[in-house]
Structure 1
Amino acid sequence: MKLTVVGGGSTYTPELIDGFARLRDTLPVEELVLVDPAADRLELVGGLARRIFARQGHAGRIVTTSDLDAGVDGADAVLLQLRVGGQAARQQDETWPLECGCIGQETTGAGGLAKALRTVPVVLDIAERVRRANPRAWIVDFTNPVGIVTRALLQAGHRAVGLCNVAIGFQRKFAGLLGVSPADVHLGHVGLNHLTWETEVRLGGPEGENVLPKLLGEHGDAIADDVRLPRPLLDRLGVVPSYYLRYFYAHDEVVSELRTKPSRAAEVAAMERELLRMYGDPSLDEKPALLAKRGGAYYSEAAVDLAAALLGGGGSPYQVVNTLNRGTLPFLPDDAVIEVQAAVGPSGPAPLPVPDLDPLFAGLVANVTAYEDLALEAALRGGRDRVFRALLAHPLIGQHAYAETLTDQLIAHNREHLAWA
């Protein structure tokens, strides 16, 4: 089995390598190719990756290359974890929207649209080259904004599934609170990427006992702290929102915070410099503890599970993925991309039935889906008016004066990445 990671020079990669090494019985990788145009980073990450494999006794071969076509040639699955423009672009995404009093964030609001516009054309080019190399290869997208990028891939006819680590993080957290194995926790996870709620927590599978009321009753304070929302709000909602819902439920509070502290991009950039220094130490043969603060917790377990299921070698029978709606949420178009529990196998994911969604949540999902439609149109076709329409449609913007200003700012800060600008 050959797997390729595009963006293999990311400081995330050792987390993924550690998972491949530990879970080799689930996903027996014979050749793992790390592809990245940044040769200096790739050398550091690739060296550590080989040492991790050696320490854990994995017999697979790790190859590093800056040649995308060679890297994806014959791959059974390709994982995408790239960041067009790097941390410098992320820094911009998180700062210029604040000038209008809007959220500055890399996947939500105006910053998220900027990232989509930079990313979608690059990902589609990569996917076409994967298809030429092996039409049966699966593409697993971890590149944000996952929902928009995955929809672009599926709309172009690629064999693609989107992946996020929010759900597996909740699964692990709830399992710890309940004192059970993570495999025993089945989430009623529903919504869009970075716009989801846990509406049920069942033990043993989709038909098991729903223990969400117990979780909220006994551990509501800890859960509220994790998602950074007030405990009384969770009690009133009766669900657990992902922490990304804080941008919607506490927008002005978050904007005030973001204006008075260093950006997350600045924190990550400093962390990456230290991680890369550590990766260059030839005695380091395991992922360092600092990597846990970088983000992407449990990404490796989720990626291994998904790839194994898609390639027919095992994996969990049910997994939270980003895939086509196909009537799962009846108020959305069939070709919308949603994030839900699905049965995953070699033919792809099949979403499990979802109980009727409370209008309080369904309304926001429908609104953001409309924004994502317009965002993808802007990413595919370009043009100032399409960018404006997407920003005006976003529920965190919505005012025409803000949308006008943010459109000009977005184009000015991203001109080098926009072929049409």
Structure 2
Amino acid sequence: MKLAVVGGGSTYTPELIDGFARLRDVLPVTELVLIDPAADRLELIGALARRIFARQDHPGRITWTDDLDAGLDGADAVLLQLRVGGQAARNQDETWPLECGCVGQETTGAGGLAKALRTVPIVLDIAERVRRRCPDAWIVDFTNPVGIVTRALLSHGHKAVGLCNVAIGFQRKFARLLGVAPERIELEHVGLNHLTWERAVRIDGEDVLPRLLAEHGDAVAADIRMPRPLLDQLGVVPSYYLRYFYQHDAVVEELRTKPSRAAEVAAIERQLLDLYADPELDEKPELLGRRGGAFYSEAAVALTSSLLGDGNADGRNGNSGNRGGGNGGGGNGGGTTGSAGGRARAAGDVQPVRAAGGVQIVNTLNNGTLPFLPDDAVIEVPAAVSARGASPLPLRPLAPLFAGLVANVTAYEHLALDAALKGGRDRVFAALLAHPLIGQIDYANRLTDQLIAHNREHLTWA
């Protein structure tokens, strides 16, 4: 089994490698190729990846290359984790919208649209190369904004599923609070990428969300940074991204008084790269947990295993689901890692959970699941995942309080994709005017001009 990671030079990558190494019984990777144009970072991270595999006695071969086509050849699955423009572009996404009194964030609002405009054309080019070089491969998209990027891929006929770590993060936190193994937790997670609510938390089929809120509501509220009374009133757990909608003005004032998240991440990345350069380092460092993307590797392993047809994969190990309860190295010859001298896995390492089924929370086509949305909308819900793709499970009707916001943001995402595919100031303006965090003519006009000015080098039509 060959996997290709496009964006393999990301500081995220050791998290992914760690999951591949630990969960090799779930996803038996024989060859892993890291692809990235940043040759210096790629060499650093590729070497660490080999050491991580060796520490875990993983026999898989790891190579790396800046040649996209060569790296894709023969791949069974391709994982996308791109950041077009790097942290510098992200820093702009998080700052210039604040000048207009709007949230500056890389996946929603004006900053999220800027990222989509930079990213969609690049991802579609990569996907066309996947179609030519490894036509049977599945594309797993972890590239933000995941909903829009996945919709772009699916609208162009690519075999793709979008993945986010919000659901698995909630699963692990709830399991810790409730004192149960994570694989026993099933979430009724519904909405759009970065716009979701946990409507039920089931243990062995029983919804324990009321008990979770009663006994641990303060801890949950602190984690998502929202008022405890809101959780009690709604009776659900919103994704922490809902802060940008429910507390917009307060968040804007908060963001104006502190460094951007991009600046924080850039500082963490510099420290991580220094750590990765240590030839003695053979495991992901603790600092990586502050980088973001927690549990991404376990979700990716479970999803990829199910897509490649491994019936032993348990989707709940990677991304819990509701089961229906109501609805460079390439140039140096690579080489086999994993030698007789490699150390055994630590006793405390997470072991894969074996069970039938492949229910995972993913981003995929609506196809009538939420009847108030068009079929070609991309939603984030529990789905049955197999070699045929992802099929959403039936869901209970979504209450108007949530459905209205989902419908509004879906309309924005439709317009955002149109702008990303066709370009033009009028399309950018329309998408911004439709976004519920903007929605005013003056704001949309100012933000349109700012977006184009800050992203001109990435926009072929500007």
| TM-score for both structures, normalised by structure 2 | 0.90
2:57 aligns to what SS in structure 1?
A: coil
Whole-angstrom CA distance in 2 between matches of 1:214 and 1:131: 48
Whole-angstrom CA distance in 2 between matches of 1:123 and 1:2: 20
Residues 155-202 of structure 1 show CA distances to partners (whole Å, capped at 9, x for unaligned) of 000000000000000011111112111111110000000000000111
Is residue 397 from structure 1 mapped to residue 438 from structure 2 by the alignment?
A: yes
1:79 aligns to what SS in structure 2?
A: strand
**Which residue of 1 is the match for residue 248 of structure 2?**
251
Aligned equivalent of 1:225, options 206, 222, 247: 222
Is residue 40 from structure 1 mapped to residue 40 from structure 2 by the alignment?
A: yes
**Which residue of 1 is the match for residue 313 of structure 2?**
315
Residues 59-79 of structure 1 show CA distances to partners (whole Å, capped at 9, x for unaligned) of 000010000000111100000
Whole-angstrom CA distance in 1 between matches of 2:412 and 2:441: 15
Superposition map of 1:6-405 within 5 A: 6-204=6-204, 208-313=205-310, 314-316=312-314, 317-405=358-446
Whole-angstrom CA distance in 2 between matches of 1:14 and 1:315: 22
Structure 1 stretch 133-142 or stretch 383-392: which is displaced more? 133-142
Amino acid across the alignment from 2:374:
P
Amino acid across the alignment from 1:166:
V
The runs of 5 or more residues in structure 1 that have no matched partner are none
1:269 aligns to what SS in structure 2?
A: helix
Structure 1 stretch 287-296 or stretch 179-188: which is displaced more? 179-188
1:361 aligns to what SS in structure 2?
A: helix
How far does residue 325 in structure 1 lie from its aligned partner after superposition? 0.3
Amino acid across the alignment from 2:41:
R
1:338 aligns to what SS in structure 2?
A: strand
Whole-angstrom CA distance in 1 between matches of 2:162 and 2:313: 16
Structure 1 stretch 142-151 or stretch 307-316: which is displaced more? 307-316
**Which residue of 1 is the match for residue 448 of structure 2?**
407
How far does residue 395 in structure 1 lie from its aligned partner after superposition? 0.1
Whole-angstrom CA distance in 2 between matches of 1:2 and 1:404: 47
Amino acid across the alignment from 1:237:
L
Higher RCO, 1 or 2 (CA under 8 Å, sep at least 6)? 2
Whole-angstrom CA distance in 2 between matches of 1:184 and 1:289: 26
1:197 aligns to what SS in structure 2?
A: strand
Whole-angstrom CA distance in 2 between matches of 1:101 and 1:269: 25
Instruction: Give the fraction of aligned pairs with identical amino acids, expressed as a percent.
Output: 80
1:306 aligns to what SS in structure 2?
A: helix
Whole-angstrom CA distance in 2 between matches of 1:175 and 1:347: 30
How far does residue 315 in structure 1 lie from its aligned partner after superposition? 2.0
Amino acid across the alignment from 2:254:
E
Whole-angstrom CA distance in 1 between matches of 2:290 and 2:70: 33
2:287 aligns to what SS in structure 1?
A: helix
Residues 244-277 of structure 1 show CA distances to partners (whole Å, capped at 9, x for unaligned) of 0000001011000100000000000011011001
Amino acid across the alignment from 1:303:
A
Amino acid across the alignment from 2:411:
A
Whole-angstrom CA distance in 2 between matches of 1:220 and 1:235: 8
Residues 204-227 of structure 1 show CA distances to partners (whole Å, capped at 9, x for unaligned) of 3xxx11111111111100000000
How far does residue 296 in structure 1 lie from its aligned partner after superposition? 0.1
Amino acid across the alignment from 2:241:
Y
Whole-angstrom CA distance in 1 between matches of 2:206 and 2:132: 46
Whole-angstrom CA distance in 2 between matches of 1:129 and 1:295: 29
Whole-angstrom CA distance in 1 between matches of 2:134 and 2:79: 14
Whole-angstrom CA distance in 2 between matches of 1:386 and 1:305: 38
Amino acid across the alignment from 1:149:
V
The runs of 5 or more residues in structure 2 that have no matched partner are 315-357
Residues 263-315 of structure 1 show CA distances to partners (whole Å, capped at 9, x for unaligned) of 00000001101100110010100000000000000000000000000001232
2:226 aligns to what SS in structure 1?
A: coil
How far does residue 404 in structure 1 lie from its aligned partner after superposition? 0.2
Q: Which of structure 1's runs of 4+ aligned residues deviate more than 4 A?
A: none
Whole-angstrom CA distance in 2 between matches of 1:135 and 1:185: 36
